[in-house]
Amino acid sequence: MNKMAKGALATGVGVALLLGGGGTLATWNASADATAGSIVAGELNLVSTTGTWTNAAGVQIDLQNYKIVPGETIKYSQPLEIKLDGPELKATLTPDLNGSTDSFRGMATYDYSIKSAAGRELKGQILTQKDAGAATVTATVTLSKDAKNDMQKVAQDVSKIQYNLQQVIR
Amino acid sequence: MAKNTALKATGLVSGAVLLGLLTVQGTYALWNAAVQAAEGSIQAAAFNVEMDGGIGTVMMAQPDGSQGTVALATTALGTVDAGKSVYAGVRLTNHTDAGGEFTVRASAGQANTGSLGGLLSVQQRAVSGSDLNACYDPSLYAGTATGHVDIPKHGSGVLCFEVSLAASASAEGQVSTISVPLTVEQIVEHKG
């Protein structure tokens, strides 16, 4: 076989392979967009602004320079912004003492309420998206009338206390 | 044999799933957010009542927690003759650092007339203000007894004493130390 013949044979084999390799050549197919859109995660967040302390007379006080006495109640009011975005999102909002020690050794009582802008009590409730928005925490601290002289000059650190908005699944 | 192998494989997979679930339990990721409630500290006030008997001041509660003792001006008490009276007083000032209202009530207890015993009698009166001279007016003791005085924050009150020696007493030259316990207590009037 001369060189011309060998070249023609190799070219023929190559063309045959090209034709044989067209396994997907000219079979019917179709495609379409799913149009499923985007999956967007919701949002859970809590924002606070500076609160104010008032004494029993309703006068605003500076806690750093104010000393309480037995039988006295002081009140703390703090605005919160609750963000609960998601129809299935549920959460609780609770204070967290964060390991604060009780310097008044049981001689002080603490209470609080959390009211939504609509006036709903949120304390102890499961919050949903409809509870999102402005809320106000009102906390009271009362030094007992039974506090003895050893309670003088005692200081109770409240800076560790937090509000905790915690998602729950129920 | 083939059945045994299948059972073993199933058991192994189940164990792995169980182990996997238990392992991730502690990091179950729920959303949460926390904000600080307040800053600073709630501080209790001090009970600072100053006693002034006319010759110096003494705090009612000493730094070590003990009770203070104040001497009354001897010039005011002086010497008493049989059938006569002498007068003295102690000014009490409420120096509390309480932020709100803090009114205290001061009163005197039963006097201990010392070595002269029943020959001495002590009357006590309480007046508002800070003037010890109010105690030196005999007419104060003629009226109805006012046993206590209320002292507002940063205010003063005076407890006055009239000491009389019985007309029949024969105690010339004798000295008797009279002690009177004073009590100051907070009036709780805060509204909850």
Which tens digit of pLDDT belongs to each residue from A34-61? 888 899 999 999 999 999 999 999 999 9
β-partners of residue B57 are B52
A98 vs B106, more confident: B106
CB A161 within 8 A of CB A95: yes
Instruction: Identify each DSSP E strand in A49-102 by its residue range.
Output: 52-54, 60-61, 67-68, 73-85, 90-96
Beta-carbon contacts below 8 Å between A and B? 148
Give Cα A154 to chain centroid, integer Å: 35
- The whole-number pLDDT of residue A63 equals 96
Q: Which of B140, B165, B180, B148 is nearest to B53 (CA)?
A: B180
In terms of Cβ atoms closer than 10 Å to its own Cβ (0-12, 13-18, 19+), residue B165 is buried
Query: Does residue A170 carry a pLDDT above 70?
Result: yes
**pLDDT score of A9 more than 50:** yes
Contact B166, B113 (CB under 8 A): no
Task: With CB atoms and an 8 Å threshold, state whether A67 touches B35.
Answer: no
Please state whether B58 falls in left (phi above 0), alpha (psi between -120 and 50) or beta: beta
DSSP reduced 3-state for B21: helix
pLDDT score of B24: 46
Candidate from A65, A68, A137 with C-beta closest to B42? A68
Q: Which domains does chain A have, with CATH numbers?
A: 43-167 (2.60.40)
Q: Are A143 and A96 in contact (CB under 8 A)?
A: no
**Residues within 8 A of B (CB atoms), A 69-128 only:** 69-74, 76, 78, 80, 89, 91, 95-96, 104, 108
Distance from CA of B134 to the nearest CA of A (A): 31
Residue numbers in A near B65 (CB within 8 A): 149
- Span B133-150, pLDDT tens digits: 999 999 999 978 778 999
How far is it, in rounded angstroms, from Cα A128 to Cα A51?
Answer: 24
- The answer on pLDDT for A96 being more than 50 is yes
Measured between CB atoms, does B64 come within 8 Å of chain A?
A: no
Q: Exposed, middle or buried, B154 (CB in 10 Å: 0-12/13-18/19+)?
A: exposed
The residues, any chain, with a CB within 8 Å of residue B143's CB and separated by 6 or more, are none
Question: What distance in Å separates the CA atoms of residue B131 and residue B86, rounded to the nearest whole number?
Answer: 17
Can you give the pLDDT at residue A1? 55
Of B41, B171, B67, the C-alpha closest to B115 is B171
Torsion of CA B97, B103, B104, B106, to 10 degrees: 120
Q: Is A151 on the interface with B (CB under 8 A)?
A: yes
Instruction: Give chain B's domains with CATH numbers.
Output: 49-186 (2.60.40)
